[in-house]
Amino acid sequence: MTDVTTAPSAVSASTAAHIEATERCAAHNYHPLPVVLSEGEGAWVVDVDGKRYLDCLAGYSALNFGHSNERLVAVAREQLGHLTLTSRAFFNDRLSGFAQALTRLTGKDMILPMNSGAEAVETAIKVSRKWGYEVKGVPAGQASIITMEGNFHGRTTTIVSFSDDDVATSGYGPFTSGFRSVKYGDVSSVAAAIDDTTVAVLFEPIQGEGGVVMPPEGFLRDLRALCTERNVLMVADEIQSGLARSGRTFACDHEDVVPDIYILGKALGGGIYPVSAIAADRDVMDVITPGSHGSTFGGNPLAAAIGTEVVAMLEEGTFQARSAEIGGLLRAGFEPLIGRGLSDVRVRGAWAGIDIDPTLMSGREMSEALMVRGILAKDTHGSTVRFAPPLVASDDDIAGLVAAVAEILDAASRPA
């Protein structure tokens, strides 16, 4: 394999100092690329040495609207001057607007606001179980939830209990019981796993961490019909796939499917503040009663103000349209590279996963080579790299990404 300059031979003193201090004083739960970012605007970020990079990860879709989005920053600054936190022991004047806006966007009766995506997933699990006991009539302590192989819903103890990622699970047992894992995208496997104790099917319409993996066409429609028939809640984790990332408001919209519970996060806070929520109709959400669930920061005025503006931006439809346009550019650029260094390409809206011929390089090596060329991306599962540029990225930005990937693959394919 030809050397494709996968990483700089040295970093600046400033970069090295930041990295050394972080590695010394912060737990090593990530393995970052050796770049230290200090500024961001739109689709671009700048490191401490002044070098610009196209951000093709966008905070795992938290930055769908770009870095330092003017509308969101203005709303946050305005709210900072008034009220940021009251706790839910009191009402605040921003939560009502956020709740109305998000129920309007999702078409659901009620929301339950939290902070992180993992908290929202935990909330959906709790609501599903309580619904199962109080509404469906599952015997106490027996509720089961069906999950999918290859899933990623977060890293809390309960969530990793149904993960098949050895890195996420090793050393963290004993795990929470009550989950059954089935093949992703196989509705017959879901049907076979359902019994009288099943309260919900928890799934990602697109598995982002897995490398932008999509189920077969028709799976979401068939799953919706199955859940309705068997009186089981359909719970869609749209934390990464939702809020315009896939070219529609929700990834479930691609098959005109409405789940019983939406799980939302990341872009809901506009990349400014952690905001998450679940949305469901009253017959599901009414199982939550005072004291049975809560969050000190969930639904706080600052979060609610930002979330309300995010919904307003999404209701205009321009970000969904732009996401679809970016998807067309990514598909047109990457698909011709299949057989020329790539073995597979998956694109849905402004979200792409590419599988690299492992004899050429790993996904980490591709990410390092892109970093040298001023593009930031993230590898996953060995030889896969995923791209999720902010939806404000220009046509030229996307063309530069595609050209850089092609250049790296061509260099790697040339005889040494």
- List the catalytic residue out of 98, 152, 297, 387: 152
237 catalytic? Reply is yes
Q: What are phi and psi of 98, to 5 degrees?
A: -65, -45
CA distance 376 to 382: 17
What is the residue type of 85? L
90 catalytic? Reply is no
126 catalytic? Reply is no
Q: How far, CA to CA in Å, does 267 sit from each of 16, 96, 381?
A: 31, 20, 24
Strand partners for 378: 386
- List the catalytic residue out of 47, 55, 237, 260: 237
The residue among 269, 236, 227 whose CA lies nearest residue 102 is 269
CA distance 134 to 113: 22
Cβ atoms < 10 Å from Cβ of 5: 13
- List the catalytic residue out of 47, 55, 98, 266: 266
Q: How far apart are the first and last CA of the chain?
A: 6
Q: How far, CA to CA in Å, does 94 sit from each of 247, 302, 309?
A: 29, 8, 11
**Kind of pairing, strands 179-182 and 144-148?**
parallel
Question: What is the phi-psi region of residue 61: left when phi exceeds 0, alpha when psi lies from -120 to 50, beta otherwise?
Answer: left
DSSP code per residue over 272-310: TS--EEEEE-HHHHTT--TTSS--SSTT-HHHHHHHHHH
**Residues with a known catalytic role:** 152, 237, 266
